[in-house]
Amino acid sequence: MNPYFKVSDEVKQAVQHNRPVVALESTIIAHGMPYPQNVETALRVEHTVRDRGAVPATVAVLGGVLTVGISKAQVEFLGRNGTKTAKASRRDLPVILSKKLNGATTVAATMIAADMAGIRVFATGGIGGVHRGAEATMDISADLEELARTDVAVVCAGPKSILDIGLTLEYLETKGVPVLGYQTDELPAFYCRESGFPVDARMDTPVDIARCMHAKYTCELHGGIVVANPISREDALSEDEMDSFIQTALDMAEAKGIRGKKITPFLLETVKELTHGRSLKANIQLVLGNAALAAEIAAEYCRLNAL
């Protein structure tokens, strides 16, 4: 028994019987969106996963226990508590667990929990990466190191637009992490469908992605996979428009001396204000799209494992 780790009965049974499960993070609930949109979105994402035949497994730290598969009431608690809940990445987990605190798991921490629970597919909004100006600040997300070491496929809308996408791709290449484009040859950039950078390989169906996962993990080629799923055309924002907003937000962050963990929530909130809420709508829609694709990939991966 691990006193710091818990998996819900539903998730445990699904994993044990080779049924599809999709891990979901909780930072997007506590830090990524305002209340009540955060709770509404989290529950919609779980429903989307269920509608496609998979079990949702939202991850969070609750009272010092890293929990895989939290309840609706616990989602509501995280949403209401918002940024009062600690942001939990790999570095933070030992402190949060030992002090019996609550924590909203980042991409990195959610990957850790998913791997511990035997879940191989995880849906999120966008991954962290190398921040703009990292050559001076060394601000690089722990998400990238986790992708290098942990056997989970992360379905996302690419790196967040606020990042240096070229350097993020270079980092992932160095760490041996495949970047797969779902029905696209170009890496999406969160709110935008295009980034100007190619993916490592295009995959046109969930079956193709599941086969890639199966080959990688059967051969024990450890580490994650980035599955980049572009936001729909009707919900996307233009690249030029976003570049302008992001630069304004970066300038504001620099003027206020905002760095480290606080930078991403600040930039996302500022961009939301600059776009008059359009970026929040886009964020919600892309997360739902990623959850749907993740459920389909998880189902196909389970079929391959049953052969």
Give pLDDT tens digits along the chain (307 positions).
899 999 999 999 999 999 999 999 999 999 988 899 999 999 999 999 999 999 999 999 999 999 999 999 999 999 999 999 999 999 999 999 999 999 999 999 999 999 999 999 999 999 999 987 887 778 899 999 999 999 999 999 999 877 899 999 999 999 999 999 999 999 999 889 999 999 999 999 999 999 999 999 999 999 999 999 999 999 998 877 888 888 888 889 888 888 776 777 787 788 888 888 888 899 899 999 999 999 999 999 999 999 8
* Model pTM score: 0.93
d(CA 211, CA 257) in angstroms, rounded, equals: 46
Query: What are the φ/ψ torsions at residue 105 (nearest 5 degrees)?
Result: -80, 135
Return the H-helix or E-strand segment holding 273: helix 263-274
Q: How many CB atoms lie within 10 A of CB 173?
A: 12
Contact residues for 160 (Cβ-Cβ < 8 A; gap 6+): 125, 126, 127, 128, 129, 189, 190, 264, 268
Domain extents in the chain: 5-306
pLDDT on residue 53: 98
Is CATH 3.10.129.10 the classification given to domain 5-306? no
78: helix, coil or strand? Answer: helix
185: helix, coil or strand? Answer: coil
Q: Which residues are known catalytic residues?
A: 25, 160
pLDDT on residue 24: 98
Residue 179 CA to its chain's centroid (Å):
14
Q: How many CB atoms lie within 10 A of CB 128?
A: 24
